[in-house]
Structure 1
Amino acid sequence: MAKPRDPQPAEPLSSGILRRSGWVIVLLVIFTGTNLRGETGIIDECGWKPVDDQFITVEGIRLHYVSKGAGQAVVLIHGNPGFLQDYSAVVADLVSRNFRAVAFDRPGHGLSQRPTHQEATPE
């Protein structure tokens, strides 16, 4: 007969809920972020720029990004090909309720500058 396991101390309810909701948000971004396009996007299909967009230069490359919310940052990284429009305003709104959502155009995508010193394809 199997011996019953010792009960584990319960973690505080609020801590467990926050941890689980954080993972739900991360999974939501991973599985749906690259498929969301259209009028709800941060940049829509017509090509207009978001009002709150910003640029930063990193290692000589000008990168385009948007940031919304406060707290610990959740960085939304688009696939290839793609750009920050791949994350709809709905995803950014959900993430920014509890975190700082940062979506950016990877170098050579969207409104970010293309690196001039790197090869586009491996040799």
Structure 2
Amino acid sequence: MQLVSEFRPKTGDATLDGLLEDAMVRFLSRRPADRQDALEKLWDAFERVKTLEGSNKSVAVPILLGNAALGSDPFRELLTDEFHLLTRVGNNFTIRHHEIGKTPPPSDHARDYLFVRLASVVAVVLRHTGRMA
């Protein structure tokens, strides 16, 4: 899969690049524990992506998504909706939070779906803002 195998971030943030690269390597493993770790690392990277334009996410994310939309209001709206939905997923499933009451992804296939969905939006945002080869 090109999205994962050719994922080469160059965000200017060594921590973010490391999280993204580690997530991709772990995702390619067939071990379920590695793939769960990959999902968690990718979600941590997603939260860091939200701060690329500044530490205040409520200000930085609209700027980031505006730049990533390349002048297309419908695409900006799509990216905004996707960021909100994926933030909710990360907060409600045992991906970023492991408190009682959080729900694990129901299967390895669901975990893979969530990983690829998040990797896709992160990749397009990074590519459209010149932060990925």
TM-score for both structures, normalised by structure 2: 0.28
TM-score for both structures, normalised by structure 1: 0.29
Q: Which has the higher helix share?
A: 2
Structure with the larger RCO, 1 or 2 (CA within 8 Å, 6+ apart): 2
Q: Which has the higher strand share?
A: 1
Q: Flag the structure with larger Rg.
A: 1
